[in-house]
A and B are shown apart, each in its own frame.
Chain A
Amino acid sequence: MSGVGLTASASAMADALAAGEVTSVELTQAHLDRIAAVDGDVHAYLHVNAAALEAAAAADARRAAGDGVHPLTGVPIAIKDVLCTIDMPSTAGSKILEGWVPPYDATTVARVRAAGMVPLGKTNMDEFAMGSSTEYSAWGPTHNPWDLERIPGGSGGGSAAAVAAFEAPIALGSDTGGSIRQPGAVTGTVGVKPTYGGVSRYGAIALASSLDQVGPVTRTVLDAGLLHDVIGGHDPRDSTSIPDAWPSFAEAARAGTREGSVKGLRIGVVEEMSREEQGFQPGVLQRFRESLELLERQGAELVEVNAPHFRYAIAAYYLILPAEASSNLAKFDSVRFGMRVTPPGGGTVEEVMAATREAGFGPEVKRRVILGTYALSAGYYDAYYGSAQKVRTLIQRDFGSAFERCDVLATPSAPTTAFKIGEKVDDPLAMYLNDLTTIPANLAGVPGISLPSGLAPEDGLPVGIQFMAPARQDARLYTVGAALEQALVDAWGGPLLNRAPVLA
């Protein structure tokens, strides 16, 4: 392939396509070759699109005709398996949906196709997005391209690993408690959870409807902005979709690379998420502080803020999420789609459902559905689910008072770097702590971005920094993110992923 390499950003690939230096067919074939070469080790994909080259040829024809060309026309993209695709199986990482091909596309998928992007395939994930390591996928774990014995984060470990391993330039993810941002942190990539309602959830297989949000998984902040511009905006098919007009997030990212873009920006450092004794690895905190110093040198102002209720966020989340999930997953009942298991000798429809769900759901899904059933049951509802909803109010108030004193909030994206596969899989409470820093944004509906802030000195693995903004102010994240990314890449002498080990 001439013109542009596999390690280029999606926007550089788009430029090369526009300049006629490469075709989408060449670019797509190069990615399919890369998948064939390394995905045996990484296992980022559950399904590779057999029609990818046809879509690429159509994109080339569209560019040749100059007809309805979008900036990302012809750029290949990976799609998290939680999103419905009319031409590819959509299992959400679960055996209960093995081989299921939905009768419609998710809105985000439809918008990506309408822009002329080329779906490469479906990426691995924790079953129904329940997990922080992709180990709870029914189809086996994804491996972190930085160290194949380690987890790529979760639930969207497949999308993050595909982008980090150059098996896709850009991907779609979903984030209910950190499933875009935490995998971004541990794989050295960029991920954005938009404002709740900023991107349509139509056709995203629901985990927790008041928390789920679809967003971009990329290697650069600008690429995330470009994809957000494609997938975002009002969708009448999602009743929680915000009808407002949105600014261009690609423009917000470009603005961040200009001189003085963060001058006077007030960055709130959350005191409750900034010290070792709060569960943070030393190298994570070191890179976090260095990133903040870089921004300070460019004129940003650091403000210490308190968010006293953030420490209750995980507890509230693990009541609200299981409650909503137990309801959402009731539809997997062996009647309209998915697996059916009939007990020996037959059985009533309820016995068939119970046998199906016993065989079709993995351990984490069973844990959370049963926990949610408990939290919602009469006599316990007020103490658990009702209290969790009150904590949600308190966390929103913490954000509200913090944003009176600053424009964006900063925390590490995850408390540690990538851990070893198998290390926490049998200890649910230890696993839940991985989303310590990301869950508050989901509970409050505010947007968050994670971008690489370096490698932890103690283990040489990627570390991420998270910024959060008030609801609807996603553009601020792209501006501060792009400003920091530019300063860091200058300091490193190239993108962080250049330092990842060579695969295959």
Chain B
Amino acid sequence: MVRHLASLALIGLDEQEVERLTGQLGAIVDAVATVSEVATPDVPATSHPIPLGTVTREDVPGATLTPEQALAGAPERDGDFFKVSSILGEEQ
């Protein structure tokens, strides 16, 4: 289970971490499951603390980053592009 969730979250884990997290997350999930004691069907859900309408702005250009600024922190670049390794593996 932990290994599957970690792969969904794109986090590599070693064997020790999987073992430790399995115990810890089990205890945490048991503790947080208490929310179901009071979360009855008649209670509406709240996603946001202060209700606000949809916020829009005038459709005019604002301040933007230059390509140089946007790329300044990139681990790897090729000209004005972010560079990554292959998207697909060999078997794909």
Residues of chain A whose beta carbon lies under 8 Å from any beta carbon of chain B: 100-104, 195-197, 210-211, 236, 239-240, 242, 309, 312, 314-316, 318-319, 326, 330, 333-340, 342, 346-355, 357-359, 361, 363, 366-367, 369-371, 373-374, 377, 383-384, 386-394, 396, 428-429, 442-446, 471
- Shortest C-beta distance, B23 to chain A (Å), equals 10
Q: What B residues does A442 contact at CB under 8 A?
A: 49
The chain B residue sitting closest to A334, CB to CB, is B75
The docked-state distance in angstroms from the alpha carbon of A326 to that of B37 is 25
The docked-state distance in angstroms from the alpha carbon of A175 to that of B40 is 29
The chain A residue sitting closest to B44, CB to CB, is A393
9 contacts between A and B (CB under 8 A): A336-B73, A349-B84, A367-B21, A370-B5, A374-B29, A391-B35, A429-B27, A442-B49, A443-B49
What 4 pairs between A and B have smallest CB-CB spacing?
A445-B49, A358-B12, A387-B39, A337-B73
- What per-residue 1/0 map shows which CB atoms of B12-35 lie under 8 Å from chain A? 111001000100110111011111
Q: Is the CB of A103 within 8 A of B38?
A: no
- Shortest C-beta distance, A396 to chain B (Å), equals 6
List 15 other contacts, CB 8 Å, given A358-B13, A392-B49: A240-B48, A314-B31, A315-B32, A335-B84, A336-B74, A340-B75, A354-B11, A367-B21, A367-B28, A370-B5, A377-B8, A390-B39, A394-B43, A396-B46, A444-B49
The chain A residue sitting closest to B35, CB to CB, is A387
Q: Which of A195, A335, A353, A370 contacts B2 (CB 8 A)?
A: A370
Q: Is the CB of A101 within 8 A of B72?
A: yes
Q: Which of A239, A352, A389 contacts B55 (CB 8 A)?
A: A239
The docked-state distance in angstroms from the alpha carbon of A428 to that of B89 is 37
Is the interface on chain B under 10, 10 to 19, 20 to 34, or 35 or more residues? 35 or more
Q: Is the CB of B10 within 8 A of A370?
A: no
CB within 8 Å of A: which of B47-84?
47-50, 52, 55, 57, 65, 69-70, 72-76, 82, 84
Counting chain B CB atoms within 10 Å of each CB, the highest count among A100, A358, A446 belongs to A358
Q: What A residues does B55 contact at CB under 8 A?
A: 239
- Number of A-B residue pairs at CB separation under 8 A: 182
Q: What B residues does A195 contact at CB under 8 A?
A: 50
- Shortest C-beta distance, B35 to chain A (Å), equals 4
Q: Is the CB of B52 within 8 A of A240?
A: yes
Q: Is the CB of B52 within 8 A of A197?
A: yes
The chain B residue sitting closest to A386, CB to CB, is B45
Q: What A residues does B46 contact at CB under 8 A?
A: 389-390, 392-393, 396
The docked-state distance in angstroms from the alpha carbon of A237 to that of B84 is 30
- Shortest C-beta distance, B20 to chain A (Å), equals 8
The docked-state distance in angstroms from the alpha carbon of A452 to that of B17 is 40
The chain A residue sitting closest to B42, CB to CB, is A390
The docked-state distance in angstroms from the alpha carbon of A371 to that of B7 is 13
Q: Given contacts A103-B69, A337-B74, A340-B76, are A371 and B43 in contact (CB under 8 A)? A: no
The docked-state distance in angstroms from the alpha carbon of A405 to that of B39 is 25
Q: Is the CB of B86 within 8 A of A349?
A: yes
Q: What B residues does A357 contact at CB under 8 A?
A: 9-12
The chain A residue sitting closest to B40, CB to CB, is A390
The docked-state distance in angstroms from the alpha carbon of A314 to that of B33 is 11
Counting chain A CB atoms within 10 Å of each CB, the highest count among B9, B13, B52, B57 belongs to B9
- Shortest C-beta distance, B69 to chain A (Å), equals 4
The docked-state distance in angstroms from the alpha carbon of A335 to that of B47 is 30
Q: Is the CB of A371 within 8 A of B52?
A: no
Q: What B residues does A346 contact at CB under 8 A?
A: 85
Q: Is the CB of A309 within 8 A of B74?
A: no
- Shortest C-beta distance, A399 to chain B (Å), equals 10
Q: Is the CB of A390 within 8 A of B43?
A: yes
Counting chain A CB atoms within 10 Å of each CB, the highest count among B7, B14, B34 belongs to B34
The chain A residue sitting closest to B71, CB to CB, is A336
Q: What B residues does A396 contact at CB under 8 A?
A: 46, 49
Q: What A residues does B73 contact at CB under 8 A?
A: 100-103, 336-338
The docked-state distance in angstroms from the alpha carbon of A392 to that of B45 is 7
Q: What B residues does A377 contact at CB under 8 A?
A: 5, 8
Q: What B residues does A354 contact at CB under 8 A?
A: 7, 10-12
Q: Is the CB of B35 within 8 A of A315?
A: yes
The chain A residue sitting closest to B87, CB to CB, is A349
The docked-state distance in angstroms from the alpha carbon of A144 to that of B24 is 28
Q: Is the CB of B10 within 8 A of A333?
A: yes
Q: Is the CB of B74 within 8 A of A335?
A: yes
The chain B residue sitting closest to A387, CB to CB, is B39
Q: Which of B9, B12, B38, B57 contacts A309 (CB 8 A)?
A: B38
Counting chain B CB atoms within 10 Å of each CB, the highest count among A309, A315, A340, A396 belongs to A315
The docked-state distance in angstroms from the alpha carbon of A349 to that of B89 is 9
Q: What B residues does A240 contact at CB under 8 A?
A: 48, 50, 52
The docked-state distance in angstroms from the alpha carbon of A101 to that of B73 is 7
Q: Is the CB of A428 within 8 A of B45?
A: no
Q: Is the CB of A315 within 8 A of B74?
A: no
Q: Is the CB of B50 within 8 A of A445?
A: yes
Q: What A residues does B7 contact at CB under 8 A?
A: 354
Q: Is the CB of B12 within 8 A of A391?
A: no
The docked-state distance in angstroms from the alpha carbon of A102 to that of B69 is 9
Q: Given contacts A348-B86, A445-B50, are A391 and B10 in contact (CB under 8 A)? A: no
